[in-house]
Chains A and B, each alone.
Chain A
Amino acid sequence: MLTLATITLILVMLMAIARAILGPTIYDRILAVNMFGTKTVLLIAVLGFLSGRPEFLDIALVYALINFISIIGVLRFFEYRSAASKKEYSS
């Protein structure tokens, strides 16, 4: 079942990339990156169990943290820009 979870995670990451490339608005892309980040966290955790090395979990924790911070950062900057000059930056 761990291998099934790994394969599903890789498939979902591919689909998230597809949405990131397709997504008409920038928010779709941000959503895809967020989803990609949480899937990477799960992939690291599952891979750690598959290969029997539990120290990967530190890295999974860092990824979860960094993903959250970068999403908040992106949104704050984007909100600042779209409040400042809406004419130049179409969403």
Chain B
Amino acid sequence: MSLFLDFSLLLMLIIIAFAIARTRDLFAAVMFSGIYGLLSASFFILSDAVDVAFTEAAVGAGIFPILMLVVLSFVGRYERSERRLKPVPLLIALGCGAVLFVAFQQMPAFGSPDGPSHQHVGPRYIEESPSEIGIPNMVTSVLASYRGFDTLGEVVVIFTAAIGVFALLLGATGWSGHYLPLKPSSMSSHKILRIVGKMLIPLILLFGLYVQFHGEYGPGGGFQAGVIFAAGIILYTMLFGMQRAQRVIPLQALRLLTALGVLIYGSVGIVSILSGGNFLDYSALLPDDIAGQHVGIILIELGVGITVAASMTLIFFAFTLASISAGESDK
């Protein structure tokens, strides 16, 4: 049964990958990427990697097609380059593939106990995590506590991406935070979507909060929650127009929130140093070690969630505002 599932999912992945590479219609390529994201997430679930599947679903099948479509509104729908067969890159790719193929024959089999991932720190984390940190979801304990430095790097990467997009698209023209005038919206013909949206958006935001705080007990955590939050706000923007969305969440507030999340994360580390431990050593935060770990994990997950939500929304707003001011048309 599982062999059949693995085989069919991988076969579909290969078919979709070929379709993405061969099509010239970029809209179709974005659609195929959505399917690819869903297939990857299903495959991760088959491999029992539930948190990764969560993030892949939220990002790869949700935010990524939407952001790519905003980019397409700048770039144009069809691929403009010529199709020529390029022999040198083909040979390099085939050569690397052959080398990899020979190399992995000598690795231990998939999932065997003497593979490298089961030998070094893996067993130590699995054995010590309940007593040292004490939260049921070990993925969160590794992500937030044992490897907290890596997660800080990831948050800073997302923050940098948001800054980069903002600077490239809006910074040069100096958006200066003025509001678009509230024109009578042309969206009144979308009554059904608006009513359904009004019902759903509060639930989506509530679900984002649930995922954020439930990340220690089940799959979830800051990244996934931030993406779900951003998806809810993007849905509101799409259904009700950019003008109203800017009044709900001003651009200045978004810039502030993006930086605030990273600041919270870094501050937890600094407070740990000031309390006598190492950087990001949560045991130093409170007299009781395990309670300190819990508080530290909650705070940094909050920081991650705030930054991810604000960054995704900021990127979307930046593209939309730039395309509005470039096209001078109502969206």
Given contacts A7-B4, A29-B31, A65-B207, contact A70 B65 (CB under 8 A): yes
Our count of residue pairs bridging A and B at CB distance below 8 angstroms stands at: 144
* Chain A interface size, under 10 / 10 to 19 / 20 to 34 / 35 or more: 35 or more
Q: A26 touching B65 by the CB < 8 A rule?
A: no
- Chain B residue numbers with a CB within 8 Å of A65 are 62, 204, 207, 228, 231
- Chain B residue numbers with a CB within 8 Å of A21 are 15, 19, 32
CA distance A65 to B230 in the complex (A): 12
Q: A72 touching B235 by the CB < 8 A rule?
A: yes
Q: How far is the CB of A61 from chain B (nearest CB, A)?
A: 7
CA distance A62 to B207 in the complex (A): 9
Fill in one digit per residue for A51-84: 1 if any B CB lies within 8 Å of its CB, else 0.
0010110110111011111101110111011001
Q: Is the interface of A mostly helix, strand, loop or mixed?
A: helix
Q: A44 touching B45 by the CB < 8 A rule?
A: yes
- Chain A residue numbers with a CB within 8 Å of B65 are 70, 73-74
Q: Which B residues form the contact surface with A (CB < 8 A)?
A: 1, 4-5, 8-9, 12, 15-16, 19, 25, 27-28, 30-32, 34-35, 38, 41-42, 45-46, 50, 53-54, 57-58, 61-62, 65-66, 69-70, 72-73, 76-77, 193, 200, 204, 207, 211, 214, 218-220, 224, 228, 231-232, 234-235, 238-239, 327, 329, 331
Q: Which A residues form the contact surface with B (CB < 8 A)?
A: 3, 6-7, 10, 13-14, 16-17, 20-21, 26, 29-30, 32-33, 36-37, 40, 43-44, 47, 50, 53, 55-56, 58-59, 61-63, 65-70, 72-74, 76-78, 80-81, 84, 88-89
Please, could you name 27 A-B residue pairs with CB atoms under 8 Å apart, sorted by A? A10-B4, A10-B5, A10-B8, A10-B9, A17-B12, A20-B19, A20-B32, A26-B28, A36-B38, A40-B41, A43-B42, A55-B50, A56-B45, A59-B54, A62-B57, A62-B207, A63-B38, A67-B61, A67-B62, A70-B34, A73-B234, A74-B30, A74-B31, A77-B66, A81-B73, A84-B329, A88-B77
Given A58-B218, A63-B41, output 9 extra A-B contacts at Cβ < 8 Å: A40-B41, A43-B42, A44-B45, A55-B50, A56-B50, A59-B53, A70-B66, A72-B193, A73-B66
